[in-house]
Structure 1
Amino acid sequence: MNSIEFALFALVAFLGYKIISTWRDRARLIKLRGPPSPGWFYGLSKDLFQGDAAEFFEKWFNEYGYAFQVAGPLGERRTVLFDPKAIGYFFSKETYSFTQSGFQRKAIEAIIGKGLLYAEGESHRRQRRALTPAFSVAALRNLTPVFYDSAYKVKSAWDVLIHSSPSNEAIIDVQKWMNSVSLDSVGIAGFGHDFGSLEDRKSTVRSLFDSVGTTPHSSSGARRGLSLLLPLLSPVLPILLMVPTKRKKVIGRLHESMADISNVLLDRSRKEREAGLQDVKGSAGQTLIGALLKAENSDSSLTMTPDEVLSQMKVLILAGYETTSISLTWALIELALHPDKQDKLREELSEFSQSDPSYDQLTNALPYLDCVTREILRLHPPLGQISRVAAKDEVVPFSNPINLPNDPQASSLPIARGAQIIIPVRAIQRSTVIWGPDAKEFRPERWAKGEEGLPETVKLFGGYHHLLTFVDGQRICLGRGFALAEFKSVLSVLVRNFVFEMRDGPDTKIEDIVTILRRPKVVGEEGFALPMKVRRYES
């Protein structure tokens, strides 16, 4: 048997094993109502991948209730939860009873290694505790000037573009700049490293991030079918992650580039510490790199291995770049489409014409900025859904009755080990049943009375102000304070100094493109371009 024959035999054997195990797990799974499957091979995964998954999930929620099942590829069935009590229980048991699938962990490891996003159980708890001091309120107060510095670099660059324009405005790809401001901010604030992307300095990491956004899942021509097959079947057949596509090569180079930069920064910081220039027990211990060095040299239960330390740096680079840049881009889109709300936010910020809001003012003294922030996080969560696998048999409690085969008013759902669970975050946060008839509208005013103004159905959910954007429980985003401080700092500078309009008017069509997460783009533009009309604000 030659090598090609052996590889084919191994693939067929593995495929057979997966099919048998899928049917075995399906036999143990309690069957719930759900939409009919269009076919065994892809199930409904193709529809969800190519269309608006949140719309599909909400439609099925309205039809089948607070728990239903959807067909995945190769006969797999996935259980979707909408019930707040069930979701709260799910998050309380995450990393132990509900864990990432083998596919998810392999995909995470391929980009950022075995850090916090990869870890489960006690390993996750240990790494999280070691990193917590870097995200304290005191640390965030010290970092806020870094965010302002990046925002003013954007302002200076845009002033030049507008000044050189024959009119009083310029067409600017705002997403490109939000990517740059996020990358530079996380580099300086986290590690004291300036990627220089706001100054158009050549950065391998930045160019590779951009490449991920413009590289399809597969090449064209005869292999075009892989652009669907790989993302849809890889969760069931992780071996497909080994297929050498152009996108895989770009992601591999991104992993290597982030590792190279992280190693240089760690080596520099280790030498500074050894020379007595850095005290990791003092203020430096409140920076991310200080917390990492402290954990690396700790004899306590919080010790991290060198590989874990390296992975944490890549986690922050990726998470800090991708999520915040997406949220800032969506904020500019919504404000451009709603000029009255843009004006209202600018009016609130007008008192800071001579100085910038402090961290405490950003957090507590600008209510409409806070309303806009929460509304963006509600409508446009960077992570649209969360998927986990039951690591053991569980019984999930519900606050709303669910229809089981032997009990149409059941108050709990038995979950078998190996079952796939989906929490459709974006669908939940845009559901008219949960949020009311204006759920899909950008209306920051819904937060004006704090939580008192929210529907009672919303208050049943946990998370950050009853939002699941930062998830909840043991995996609630450790860097959420960092992300919020950066988001508010940058947005406050841009709205005080510029007016935003969509280049093609209020009817501009926006669609999603998959980079590492889903990003907005103007329909018809290359990559993830988002051109806007930007002009100076004249008070």
Structure 2
Amino acid sequence: MAPTVFDLISLSAVSLLITLAIFKGSKINTPLRGPQSPSFIFGHYRYIQEQNDPELVYEKWAKKYGPAYQVTGPFGSKRIVICDPKANAHFYSRETNGYVQTKLAHVFIENLFGRGVLWAEADSHKRQRKTLMPAFSNAAIRRLSTVFYDAVYKMKTSWDATIDNAKAEYAVIDVQKWMNHVSLDSIGIGGFGHDFKALENKNTSVVEVFDSFDDANTDFFSRLIFFLGPVFPTLQNLPTKGNRMLRQLRETMGKIADELLKRSRRVSDEKEDSVIADKSIIGILVRSENAGTKLEMSSEEVLAQMNTLLVAGYATTSISLTVRLLNNYFVKFLIQKSFFFGGQWALIELSRAIEKQDKLRIEIAGLGGTDPTWEQLTSGLPYLNAVVHEVLRLHPPVNETTRVATEDDIIPFTSPIITSQGLPTDKLFITKGTIISSPIGYMNTSTTFWGPDAREFKPERWLEEDALCNLRAKEIQGHRHILTFSDGPRTCLGKTFALTEFKIILAVLIRHYLFELLDGPNTQIDKHPSILPRPKMRGYEGAVVPLKVRRIEGE
């Protein structure tokens, strides 16, 4: 029976009390300036979510209040935002020990994934990560590159048929749908040695679950419950779209992960099908169960890693191929240790700047009509590498990292902080329980660090040897001076996986097709709210990104 208005009010009141208790311990010792809260219930959370470019909000606040300021969270809670390279380096270096995920995040991650590497902290995180590292080594990813090529060429076959059937110069293809499926099949085969057959339009249970992401969590009440549900589990029983989706997702993931784990154990025990076992990430997990060393993972941890690979690997690949993820308080935990960023956004950016798309195509054509080798992917295609890193800089799938201090700490700053009393200081004193946020999107695109063209899509900036010499961006730690892959102990484990898959898919698509936006470079793209926020082309129903796709002459 549907809940009454009284039931909903009562549940909301209880949730409010519980949430207030959780945030009660959040303290800030150094008095900081910051923007006035627009809402007691949501603080700045909802305001930031509604922005098309949340990094611009952080930049505005940084210019007004300095490299550290406080913002208001839900129900009057406070958090500190640090916009300084030295401060961020210190913060990330102490992750899993000095700074850990909030209690709310821990509950959510455990409920959805289990106690895997995404959930773990300190020694447990170090042990699990070390066990997983062989699966993401250069040698392992080099072997997996054939999987990425197979997936993108399977997609190419379908696209060619679509263009032939269109009987025109081009076909309009929803690239988001296809990127969803190519990413799912890639993570299925590369991660588990299992073909989900998403590219063959097979309506399997896992494909149906992930495709339905677009339709869940679209109403305000679902989003509110999604926010409070991990704190007050009873709320998850309300029949909202989001709750039904999450329940189906948990059940489906559990069944899939369990089946794949049992199959891989049989393969390992019988020493059959060794090629699949050796190539897939799950092979590493299965072997870790009986490692007989301190690195051994429990069956519960192995299943948790698989759940994380299924959702995180799929989510970041498919969405980031089109558009930067919104700064959703919980969504960032779904994708924080994911594998692949940026391909769909690359297609949009290259469709806005056809001359850059042509420049990339010319470089790839210089290979003589063959696909890039591993060596060429890693060091032989400078403009492809520049495009990839520019997309990663402009469109990180996670816009910020938020943690809570486990002990008192002093964070050093390069630029002076001005306290609320107007006093300058180069150190931030915090106490145990203080919530700290690192604004990744801001650090990647701020004019303070990257110069006046920071917000422009300019791959050429990566081709100039001394491009960063006169910019403060060189002070930022992390891969190529960007924080897209995070930094410190939680640096994205799948970075090489991500870069390799990104480059392969982009190289094949640009070599064979020309992409254009339907209404030219100024085509508008809006946000489509869901469990995993998606882009949508303005004027279209649902989360679709149709592009004009022309086959390159001679193909």
- 1:32-47 correspondence to structure 2 within 5 Å: 32-47=32-47
- TM superposition shift of 1:528: 1.7
Matched, 1:277 2:272: yes
Matched, 1:472 2:487: yes
- TM superposition shift of 1:87: 0.5
CA distance in 1, matches of 2:166, 2:74: 52
* 1:29-55 deviation line (CA, Å, top 9, x unaligned): 433111111232322222112123222
- TM superposition shift of 1:351: 2.4
* 1:405-428 deviation line (CA, Å, top 9, x unaligned): 467221111122221111111122
Which of 340, 346, 367 lines up with 2:382 in the alignment?
367
Partner of 1:379: 394
- TM superposition shift of 1:449: 2.2
CA distance in 2, matches of 1:213, 1:124: 32
C-alpha contact (below 8 Å) 1:230/1:241 kept by paired residues: yes
Using the size of structure 2 for normalisation, the TM-score is 0.89
C-alpha contact (below 8 Å) 2:26/2:435 kept by paired residues: no
Partner of 1:230: 225
C-alpha contact (below 8 Å) 1:173/1:532 kept by paired residues: yes
CA distance in 1, matches of 2:67, 2:548: 43
Structure 1 387/239 Cα, relative in aligned 2: closer, same or farther at 3 Å?
farther
CA distance in 2, matches of 1:10, 1:487: 44
Residue type of the partner of 2:523? Answer: T
CA distance in 1, matches of 2:291, 2:25: 45
- TM superposition shift of 1:310: 1.0
Structure 1 513/235 Cα, relative in aligned 2: closer, same or farther at 3 Å?
farther
- 1:296-307 correspondence to structure 2 within 5 Å: 296-307=289-300
- TM superposition shift of 1:204: 1.7
Give the share of equivalent positions with the same residue, in percent.
43
- TM superposition shift of 1:8: 8.6
Structure 1 106/538 Cα, relative in aligned 2: closer, same or farther at 3 Å?
same
Between stretches 16-25 and 65-74, larger displacement belongs to: 16-25
C-alpha contact (below 8 Å) 2:83/2:439 kept by paired residues: yes
C-alpha contact (below 8 Å) 1:29/1:416 kept by paired residues: yes
CA distance in 1, matches of 2:157, 2:11: 58
Partner of 1:258: 253
CA distance in 1, matches of 2:315, 2:21: 38
Between stretches 397-406 and 67-76, larger displacement belongs to: 397-406
Partner of 2:121: 120
- Helix, strand or coil for the counterpart of 2:81? strand
* 1:126-159 deviation line (CA, Å, top 9, x unaligned): 1100010011111111111111111111111111
C-alpha contact (below 8 Å) 1:379/1:426 kept by paired residues: yes
CA distance in 1, matches of 2:352, 2:10: 56
Matched, 1:135 2:152: no
- TM superposition shift of 1:24: 5.4
CA RMSD of aligned residues (A): 2.5
Structure 1 268/441 Cα, relative in aligned 2: closer, same or farther at 3 Å?
same
- Helix, strand or coil for the counterpart of 1:527? coil
- 1:381-530 correspondence to structure 2 within 5 Å: 381-405=396-420, 408-450=423-465, 452-453=467-468, 455-530=470-545
Using the size of structure 1 for normalisation, the TM-score is 0.92
- TM superposition shift of 1:23: 5.0
- 1:27-426 correspondence to structure 2 within 5 Å: 29-52=29-52, 53-218=54-219, 225-227=220-222, 229-230=224-225, 240=235, 243-277=238-272, 284=277, 287-325=280-318, 326=320, 327-405=342-420, 408-426=423-441
- 1:3-14 correspondence to structure 2 within 5 Å: none
Structure 1 240/415 Cα, relative in aligned 2: closer, same or farther at 3 Å?
farther
* 1:190-249 deviation line (CA, Å, top 9, x unaligned): 11101111111112222212212222354xxxxxx5245335556887875565422122
Gapped regions of structure 1 (runs ≥ 5):
219-224
CA distance in 1, matches of 2:8, 2:530: 31
Gapped regions of structure 2 (runs ≥ 5):
321-341
C-alpha contact (below 8 Å) 1:233/1:240 kept by paired residues: yes
Residue type of the partner of 1:480? Answer: K
